[in-house]
Structure 1
Amino acid sequence: MEESRAVWARDGRQWPVVTVMVGMLLVWCGLLAYHVRADNGFVLGDWVLDYRQGFTRRGAMGAMLWPLARWSHVPVTVWAAAVATLAYAVMLTALAAVLARRCKPVWYLLWLASPAALAFPYFSLAEVARKEVLHFALLAAVVWCLHRRIWHPFLAVLAIASAGLLVLSHEMLVFYAPYFCLATFVSWQTPRVWRLTAAAMLLTSLGAAAALWLWARPLDGTGFCASLLAAGHSASLCQGIVLWPIQDIEGALHNTWLTVIHYDYVRVYPASLVCAALPVILWWRRYPGEHVGRVAWGSLACVLWSLPLFALAQDWGRFIQVHVVSLALVLALALRRLPLADEPPSMATLSQPRFPWQRSGWGALLLVLCLAWPLFWHLPTCCEADVGAGWAGKAGGWISRRLAG
């Protein structure tokens, strides 16, 4: 405990990081409360699907939430919001715990707070509390265990079962399962038992996806919507996935192709990725080449694994954001360790600042950059052709509409 306090006392960036994370959690709770009151199906519809109509995709989470709702007489949407908030809090807490004992370069903090990472949901009301937050929570927990070198058979079984449950909750998450393996290969010192556990998590995810492919039946949206109305929910909860007309792969491919052409995805998303990658350039100057190469090749493998997803759905902004946040969580393990309380500075792996903006006196500049960067761009969520519509662009558009009457 004393060592942790000493590290926090010597690291002036920890408290601002925690403050920003607490602020993000509060904003998350406020936006989610708004969606619960509105019964927004685009946000909460995924969470309330269950197996009352048989084995359907995305029904695992709802199969657990509906019994809780009936037992507690609390709307299922409230339980869904509680689970999403808990998962978000677990991700932020685990990440803060890892960063407490690591140096936090400017490029990493700027990247973490960018519109392509943790700030992404705050550019569109419908992007808060999507089911990928479950993936973030599990990956952050794995990263924390690797950071603390904690392994137990019970934790391994829990992690493997959770990986399969995630895919049964949302089939999209199978395309991000390789990040569990990447986390164990960031450092050569990772125990072999953790690498075997991560491999088992990947295989379990593939098994769950295969089960959905072979036996899942199409969702009867009309019938499920009727059950939601009978339970006292408004018709707005039926929006989104519940009444989504496309239920087969052929229709998904056709719809995605038309969207990509109509909204010029080929131009929009490369420009957004260039903006998102600007802070990562510092990574190539600060870390050894072989370390960067291992992370780079592993990240490339994870991206290639997910390519079919980009052909099956049009939410490219969400898909890219999951990659960015997952990679940010994994890279937390690659950041240099801070010295312990009784460790001489020469024995620590923390290097001296190489750039002037990494010195403590430039903390104000870091804060300004973190606040100003999202003003001028954002990662498009879906069906948006304007890359420059950051917060400044949104404010300008609102003012223009008001002046136009």
Structure 2
Amino acid sequence: MVQKQFRLAIFTMIHVALFSQIYLAHLLWQTSEPHEWILGEWLINYQGGFIRRGLLGEILFQLSHLLSINVVHLTIIAQIIVFAVFLYSTYFLIKESPLSPATVALIFSPAFLLFTVWSWPYVSVRKEVFLYITLVYTCLYLQRSTPKGFSLPILIGISAIVLVLIHEMLVAYLSYLIIPVILYERRFGQLARRTLLALLPSMIVAILLVTRPTINETTWKVLCSSIQPVPPRDCLSHGEYLGAITFLTKDTFFGIQFTRLFTTPETIVVYVLTGLLSVIPILYVVYSYKLWERLARTVLFLIGLCFSATIVLTIPLFIVAADYGRFISIHITCISLTILWFLQLSPARIDPETHQTPFVWIGIVLFLINWKLPIWLLFATFQHAFPLISLLLAQR
């Protein structure tokens, strides 16, 4: 009975996240011009030539012509469909998670599935949702099938290339796709080796994309003019207003200067605190279920190596871009999905030793409602990250 109520709570949370984006989609549909970030990132295409981040926009552009539909409206519809696929597949992955304070803290963390809700409307359906879908279906495949041959590695390899062509920053997170394979085999077996080999082409593609020069004015104009009936605001302002498309014309030095412009002692402290708070539920689950006892030292070393590689690869993102909350949330989401899947991987589950007293549950609730992860540096203030605490302090 209690487990059914837990599944219902997860199902409800899934729909809260979905409906928050449906309402945002409704607002975006009503606007006279597409949002330069929320939609602009998805509208980048190859009409002006081959550029980074253009695959998804090119697919949407071709579909809009094929279906004779406004490409902006098609993008809004696509965002909702893709987000719904992610949420419902995630529900099937985590619905049998054991009920405990640790798993509740992990599933309902403001840095996980509810990231889009706590920071609404600034957090929308971003391109990393395709990484999440790839990870979820990899876990589901390993959970329900017995991988044979090269089928799974090839699928992961093709997906990785697509992810990098959608957004080159996702190459930094590709290590998360091999961790479930290592956990499934409990070693660096044949399947894991084939998966690693399958990921190499995507890394080469990412290097080629990152080293390409920024797009010129002609390409930018063609790209903007291809978005009809009205392009995003950064196109309408002739690049004076920054957006996802305009940023393609900027170099790395501009990104560094832009990030420094919004970096203050307060933003650093806020992200250190919210970053640590984001990690606490993960550590709580690992400690409560003593997950390390289920793995050999070699496996732990390999997982640590994959995680370290991901951390190192994402460090440059924090130097050249201001979306700190976004980068942190991708880490937390991938790790959380993997842990929740691993808890169900074998029939023999380990019950947590944590005493589930009312005080523990009250502490979990207070933990979950007293902070949120700001999406980028502009919102990284104590008042925005800790609204309830800031409100109480203001009343004194």
TM-score, structure 1 as length reference: 0.80
Q: 2:37 corresponds to which letter in structure 1?
A: F
Secondary structure of residue in 2 paired with 1:13: helix
Report the counterpart of residue 270 of structure 1 in structure 2. 272
Residue of structure 2 aligned with 1:377, choices 371, 379, 382: 371
Partner Cα separation in structure 2 for residue 49 and residue 365 of structure 1:
47
**Structure 1 residue 320 corresponds to structure 2 residue 314:** no
Q: 1:4 maps to what in 2?
A: none
Is residue 176 of structure 2 the alignment partner of residue 168 of structure 1?
no
Q: 2:83 aligns with which of 88, 94, 101?
A: 88
> Cα distance 1:104–1:179, how it changes in 2: closer, same or farther (>3 A)?
farther
CA distance in 1, matches of 2:265, 2:248: 21
Which amino acid counterpart does residue 370 of structure 2 have in structure 1?
F
The residue number in structure 2 matching 1:3 is none
Distance, in Å, in 2 between the alignment partners of 1:185 and 1:365 is: 33
The size of the alignment, in residue pairs, is: 375
Is 205-214 or 37-46 further displaced after alignment?
A: 205-214
The alpha-carbon distance between structure 1 residues 350 and 214, as it changes in their structure 2 partners (threshold 3 A), is: closer
Unaligned runs of 5+ in 2: 236-241
1:226 matched to 2:222? The reply is no
Deviates more, 1:136-145 or 1:293-302: 293-302
CA distance in 1, matches of 2:380, 2:188: 46
Partners of 2:96 and 2:188 in 1: CA distance: 20
Superposition deviation, residue 259 in structure 1: 2.9
Mapping of residues 65-144 of structure 1, within 5 Å: 65-122=60-117, 123-144=119-140
Amino acid at match of 1:269: Y
Aligned mates of 2:16, 2:120 — CA distance in 1: 17
Distance in 2, matches of 1:130 and 1:31, equals: 13
Residue in structure 2 matched with residue 247 of structure 1 by the alignment? 250
Matched, 1:356 2:355: yes
Q: Please point out which of 34, 41, 50 is paired with 2:27.
A: 34
- The whole-number CA distance in structure 2 between the counterparts of 1:310 and 1:11 is 41
Q: How does 1:56-71 map to 2 (within 5 A)?
A: 56-71=51-66
Q: Shift of the alpha carbon at 1:83?
A: 3.0
Query: What's the offset of the Cα at 1:369?
Result: 6.5
Q: Would the alpha carbon gap of residues 307 and 59 (structure 1) be closer, same or farther in structure 2, given more than 3 Å must change? A: same
Write the distance in 2 (CA, Å) between the matches of 1:162 and 1:56: 19
Which residue in 2 is equivalent to 1:306? Answer: 314
Are the structure 2 counterparts of residues 69 and 387 from structure 1 closer, same or farther at C-alpha, using a change threshold of 3 Å? same
Separation in 2, partners of 1:190, 1:35 = 47
C-alpha change, 1:205 and 1:236, in structure 2 (3 Å) is same
Q: Does 1:213 align with 2:210?
A: yes
1:385 shift after superposition: 3.6
Deviation of 1:394 (Å): 11
1:287 pairs, out of 290, 293, 309, with 290
Deviation of residue 64 (structure 1)?
A: 0.8
Question: Can you list the C-alpha shifts for 1:48-107, whole angstroms capped at 9, x where unaligned?
Answer: 111111111111111111111012121212322333333322322332222244424332
Cα distance in 2 for residues equivalent to 1:391 and 1:374: 11
Report what 1:47 is aligned to.
42
Aligned twin of 1:159: 156
Distance change in 2, residues 1:176/1:288 (3 Å): closer
Structure 1, gaps ≥5 residues long? 1-7, 339-347, 401-405
CA contact (8 A) 1:49 1:61 kept: yes
Paired letter, 1:244: F
Q: Are residues 173 and 201 of structure 1, via their aligned partners in 2, closer, same or farther at CA, if it must alter by over 3 Å?
A: farther
Q: Which residue of 1 aligns with 2:182?
A: 185
1:61 touches 1:169 (CA, 8 Å); kept in 2? yes
Equivalent residues of 2:3, 2:99 under 8 A apart: no
**Counterpart of 1:127 in 2: which secondary structure?**
coil
Tell me the amino acid that sits aligned with residue 379 of structure 1.
L
Aligned equivalents of 2:191, 2:382: Cα separation in 1: 40
Change (3 A) 1:325 1:101: same
RMSD between superposed Cα atoms in Å: 3.3
> Does the C-alpha gap of structure 1 residues 288 and 131 become closer, same or farther in structure 2, counting only changes over 3 Å?
closer
Q: Check whether the contact 2:224–2:231 (CA below 8 A) recurs between aligned residues.
A: no
- Of stretches 278-287 and 172-181 in structure 1, the one that deviates more from structure 2 is 278-287
Q: What secondary structure sits across from 2:274 in the alignment?
A: helix
Q: Deviation of residue 11 (structure 1)?
A: 5.1
Shift of 1:291: 4.9
Counterpart Cα distance in 2 of 1:372 and 1:236: 40
Deviation per CA, 1:162-190, whole angstroms, max 9, x where unpaired? 21111111111111111111222234447
Going from structure 1 to structure 2, the CA distance change for 1:110 and 1:271 (only over 3 Å counts) comes to same
> Conserved in 2, the CA contact under 8 Å of 1:143 and 1:333?
yes
- Paired residue type of 1:149: S
Provide TM-score, normalisation by structure 2. 0.82
